[in-house]
Every structure is written in C-alpha cells, then in structure tokens.
Chain A
Amino acid sequence: MTQALAFLYNPHRFMAFSAWAAPLFGALALALAAAGLWLGFAAPEDYQQGDTVRIMFIHVPAAWLGLFVYVCLGGASFLSLVFRQALADAAARAAAPIGAVFTALALATGSLWGKPMWGAWWVWDARLTSVLVLFLFYLAYMALRAAIDDEAKGARAAAILALVGLVNVPIVHWSVEWWNTLHQGRTVFAAGGSRAATVFLVPLLLMSLSYMSAFGALWLVRIRGEVWRRRAAAAEARLAR
C-alpha cells in the first residue's frame, strides 16, 4: 500500500498525475450528477415525506463527504506530522475548505429538510450537534493555520488539532445508534442491508459518487495550488538571497 502510494509523495510525479486525473474526476462528477439528478427527479414522491425526499439526494452525499473529507484531512495530517511529508501537509490544508463546505451544505440542507418534516429548523439532537462540532473543527483547523505566521509551526499545531477532531468522526457516525435521536437511523448502511427503496437508493448512490468524484477533482486542484504556492515561496526566498 505504502509502495503503491509512494509516487504521490513526489511532488513532480503528483503534478503529472493530477494534471490528467483532476479533469477526469471533474467530468465523471458531472456525468454522475446528470444521471443522479435525472433519476432523482423521475422518482415518485415518498409516501410519508412527499417531494421533500428529493432533498435526500443532495443532503446525504454532502453529509457523507463532510465526514469522509475529515478522515482524509486526519490521514494527511498524520502523514505530515509523523513522516514530515510536505505533500501530505499540502493535502491536509487543501482538504479543509472543501470539507467545511460539504459539512455546511449538510447542515443547511438538513435544516431545510427538517423544517417541513420535524417542524423545526434545528434541534440539539446528537447527530445534528456532532455534525456541527465537525464543522467547527474544520473552521478551527483553518483559523489555526491562518493565525500562526510560521508555516511549519502552524502546520504542526493544525495537524494535532485535526487528529484530535478524528475522535468526533465515529461519534457522528454512531450518534443515531448511541442516543435516542430525532434524526433517522442508518438507512443505506443499516445492519442487514439497505432499508431504502431501490428507486431512491440508485439516484442517492449516483449523487454520492458524483460528490466523491467532485471532491477528488477539487482536492487535486487545490493540492496543485498548494504546490505552486510553496514553489513561489521558495523562488521568493532564492530571490531575496
């Protein structure tokens, strides 16, 4: 596994790989979104939730990605902290704003779904609260990096914060099992198989793959930007000598 990923440690190889992989992921995201949206709006109304069920096709992928991106952020932070991989630090820094946007979207679309179904924009439910904490970890990570002038120190401090925040990931995931929540329990990955009807499950999975591909494209593009930013800083240092 380490050998398989070793080529990504090298910035030159990474830049060559990402130059074709990012547009490929972007095109894949668009194609999957087109198919997912088509099937999502062709699906019948839910017998209980009516047309609000269509919010699921963008809410659930955003929530999954918010969590998944945080795992990527934590993994990259670990590699950066333990193995001093510069590219891993760039990957961690690049993941944070993307994850924050996905998590904010999960909260916003969840609120817009909750109001007509629960009668409230927000409840201090275990799932909602733990996702809000996830969002705050993203904001804290970005704020910490921005607040420390010394980039190496800022990267170390933010990486430690990101690793601490990983504790919240299983809490978000299992919150609907551990506590009695208003939020519905696990549906797609429920024990014994998915409880969602195929007509809803297919567009949901297509939209989730689309969001995942979009994240792949955006992450690669932002890491490329980070590599360029560091190259600019190195060239500036050479000029200053």
Chain B
Amino acid sequence: MLDLDPGPYGFYVWTSYGLSAAALAWLVISSLGFARRWRQRAESLETRAREGEGRGGDAP
C-alpha cells in the first residue's frame, strides 16, 4: 500500500518532488529541442551548400 500522505511534512515532500519533476521535464524538453533545432538547421544549410557546390562545379 502506498503512503501518499506525508502528514505535517507534505509541503517539504511534495515541493521536493514537484521541483525535481519540473527540472527533469525542463531538461528533457530543452535537450530534445536543442538537438532538433540544430539538426534542422544543419540539414538545411548542408543541402544549400551542396546545391551551391553543384552549381559551382558546372561553371566553366
């Protein structure tokens, strides 16, 4: 049976768990966002760079 009532210590226990959950959620969201943002930017720039080099190669 789970004991989810910390009695007089509720504020301390639940604030600790709430803070930890919020901080870990922020870490997950910011890390995934950081990776996704740079992946999209890198892929877009690499495509443009390849296209630019392709055109440069065709030039006389």
Contact = CB atoms under 8 A, between A and B. Distances in A.
Contacts of B49: 235, 238-239
Mostly, the B contact residues are helix
Interface string B35-56: 1011101100110110011000
A38 B2 contact: yes
A226 B52 CA distance: 25
Interface in A223-241: 224-226, 228-229, 231-232, 235-236, 238-239
A58 B16 contact: yes
Mostly, the A contact residues are helix
A236 B52 CA distance: 12
Interface residues of A, number: 40
Interface in A74-88: none
Contact of B20 (A43, A50, A58, A97): A58
B6 A54 contact: yes
B35 A228 contact: yes
A130 interface: no
B53 to A, nearest CB: 7
B6 A105 contact: no
Contact of B6 (A52, A59, A236, A239): A52
Nearest to A239: B49
Interface string A33-51: 0000010011111000011
5 contacts: A42-B3, A221-B35, A225-B39, A229-B41, A238-B49
